[in-house]
Structures are given as C-alpha cells and as structure tokens.
Amino acid sequence: MQTERLYYNEPYLLEFDAEVRGTLDLGARVGVLLDRTAFYPTSGGQPHDVGTLGGVAVVDCYEDEQSGDIVHVLEGKPGTTRVRGQVDADRRKDHMQHHSGQHVLSRAFVELYGWPTLSFHLGVETCTIDLGVDSASRDQLDRVEDLANRIVQENRSVSIRYLNEDSIAEAGLRKATERTGEIRVIDVSGYDRSACGGTHVRNTHEIGPIQITGVSRAKKQTRVEFICGNRVLRHARATHRALETISQTVSSRLLDTPSAVASVWQEFQQTKKRIEDLESHLLDHEAAAFPVDDAGYAVAAFKDRGIETLKMLAARIAKRPGTVVLLADQSDQLRVVFARAADSALDVSALLKKTIEKFGGRGGGRPDFAQAGGLNGDVDAVLKFAKQIVHGL
Ligand SMILES: [Zn+2]
C-alpha cells in the first residue's frame, strides 16, 4: 500500500493525523512511513516540505523510487504510532507561489516566443527555468514578465484535474507527458495546462508579483532566474536599500546612481593611473640614488613596501651595470626579491633556491630575477645569508 498523498487534492492542508506504517534506520536519523501524508516529497523541481511529525522535526522528505512510498526523515523516532503532522506553512506557501508562478511564466514563454521549458528548479535563494532557446533579450524577458503579471492580476483559478492517458492528447498540455494511467493536470483557467504533481495556489493572484531577476546562457539553452510573491517584496526592499546606500555614498539621486557610479569609477581609474605614473617616477629616483657597495651589491630590508613596489625597485636598480640586488620586505609575510644586472653571470634563481632551502617559503624566477614569500626568519639574517652564499654558486 502506497502512501496516500493528501497534498494532491488538498494543497492547503498543513495539519493531519496519520498512522506510522514502518520506520527505516537512516543512521543518525529515522525514516518514517505513513499511511497518509500532507508532506510534499522532493520531486518535479519542487523541494520537500519540512515541519514536525508527532512533535519531532521533519528535516527531509523523499519518494522511495522502488516502492513509491514517501519517506519522512525525522531527527528522532516519534513516540506513538498515531501521529499528528504539521507542515511548515511559510515554506510551503513559498513553494506554491513559485511553482504556480513557474507554470504561468513557462506558458508566457511559449505564448510569446514558442520557447519550451526544459527544466525547472526551485531553490531557497533562486528559482530557475531552463529554456530551449539560444538567447533571450532583456526586452523579450520584459514582455514575458508583463504577460505573467497580467495573468496574476486577472486572478484566474488554478484547478487540479485528473485525465485519463487516452484523453491526454486532446487536453492541450503545454508539454507532452510520459506518464500513464490517471494523469494529474494543473489547469490555469483559459491559459495553461500541465501534467504536474506539485502543490499549487488556488488563484493566480496568490502568486503575487513575478519578477525575472537574471538570465544566463549555457549550451544552447537560456537559464532564467525568477522570484514570486513575498520574495519579490524582500528583494525589492533589499535592492532599494542597497541603491540608497550607493546613492548616499556617491551623492546622487537614486535613479541617477548608474551614471554617478560610472563617473566615480572613471575618476578612480584615472587617479590610479596617475599614482602608478608618480610611483614609477619616484622609484626611478630611488633606484638612481640607491646605495650600491664597491662589490656591486644593493642590499636592503624594508617594512610594508609590498611585493609589487619591491619588484619594480629591484628591476630599476638592476639596470645599473654590475649590480646584484637583494631586497627583502617584512609585511604580513617575509618576502625577498633578487635581481642582477644584464652583464652579471650570477643565477639569482639558484640563489633564491638555496635561500628557500634554509629559510623555507615559496617562490621562483629566472636567472636574472627571482622572488619568494613566506620565509621564516629574521629579515637581516636572510639577506646576510644570501649575500654570503653568492660566491659559492
Ligand atoms: Zn509543475
């Protein structure tokens, strides 16, 4: 005997009594089989319900593929064989709004552009419809959104029908079904008919607003993200607040933020370029005046100069003939940069390798330029060591 699915005909039923028919050992959790249930098991793109059974939390619900039984996954064993089930109302309502919203949207895609829905996913963060089309423009999506919201506002009835497989061909389903026997069909009055096992609202106005929030392309398909009902309100509130914060930061009116942010960004890029140019000039001067000893060594320890500056400085100093440059910087980690002039035969990458062998860290480079980070040791000791072993290479 399979579980009687109360949600098939009573999608608004959230409280019910049932008999425990058996339990499954699922390790830390218990699988409970009932004679009847209002809990929706994950299927057809719609996630499972949560709630309680005999006061114990139901954390998952799925359909056993072989037996067709519905397995309620509980955090513990219910104390009695006669149990009261309580389905989480907010989560179920959210699922009903989005599943019905998906049917309305999917029909709008067919109605306006002939694009079939290949699959549907209802998630906690986002809901998606995969369409069998290469691409969709923002303008086309706006039209679909308009039609879907019109259907919502027309408050059409959404009813559950059962059709025989023999009469299914004339039923005008949006998408052909492979199901046999008695087929459950969701009918949005005068608009859409689809074979579906999900839970749906009674009237389209209960879906609330439908908003397409994103679009992406993948393998000749188009994935559309959407939200319905209360999520639209929450999303509108969150995006409005984000926009308000941005508009205050850039001192512009709310709807002028795109151009205001663009000009701030442009200014930032120009300033960045100017700082880079100035830093380059400064480094030229610093390198020209950098102390090099009689043997050609330029050795120095820095604090918080940063690896990029250190590399630029080393490269500039190494332009002076006959120099060997050994620089170190202690910031969040100890880094070294070794370089040498083009007329020197020294292999600084070999020098770096030996230094890493002694002090640890990671790095590498070429014979004329090498760098490493994450060394363990005193910055002066590292430089002293490197300088001492140059002659042994
Ligand atoms: Zn459906």
For 126-183, what is each residue's pLDDT tens digit? 899 999 999 999 999 999 999 999 999 999 999 999 998 888 888 889 988 888 888 9
Chain segment 259-297, per-residue pLDDT in tens: 999 999 999 999 999 999 999 999 999 999 999 999 999
In the reported structure, the alpha carbon of residue 199 is separated from the centroid of ligand 1 by a whole-number distance in angstroms of 8
* Mean per-residue pLDDT, 340-368: 95
- Whole-number pLDDT of residue 1: 66
Question: How would residue 302 be classed by pLDDT, with cut points 50, 70 and 90?
Answer: very high
The C-alpha atoms of residue 332 and residue 305 are separated, in whole angstroms, by 11
pLDDT at 381: 93
What integer is the mean pLDDT of 33-45? 94
Q: What is the pLDDT of residues 16-29, one digit of tens each?
A: 999 999 999 999 99
Q: How far apart are CA 61 and CA 85, in angstroms?
A: 13
Say if residue 200's pLDDT is above 80: yes
**CA 116 to ligand 1 center in whole angstroms:** 14
| 96 Cα–ligand 1 center, Å | 10
Distance between Cα 43 and ligand 1 center (Å): 10
Distance 193 CA to ligand 1 centre (A): 10
Ligand 1 centroid to Cα of residue 279, in Å, is 61
Q: What is the dihedral of CA 195, 200, 203, 208, to 10 degrees?
A: -120
Neighbours of ion ligand 1 (CB under 5 A): 196, 198
Q: Tokens for 201?
A: 């609202």
Residue 67 has pLDDT above 70, yes or no: yes
78-101 pLDDT, tens digit per residue, is 989 999 999 999 999 999 999 999
Structure-model confidence comparison of residues 44 and 61, the more confident one: 61
* Rounded mean pLDDT, 214-230: 94
Q: Model pTM?
A: 0.77
For the cut 70, the answer to whether the pLDDT of residue 123 exceeds it is: yes
Ligand 1 center to 131 CA (angstroms): 15
Average of pLDDT values for 20-40? Answer: 95
Using the mean position of ligand 1's atoms as its centre, give its distance from the Cα of residue 202 in Å.
14
CA of 99 to the centre of ligand 1 (A): 6
pLDDT for res 391: 76
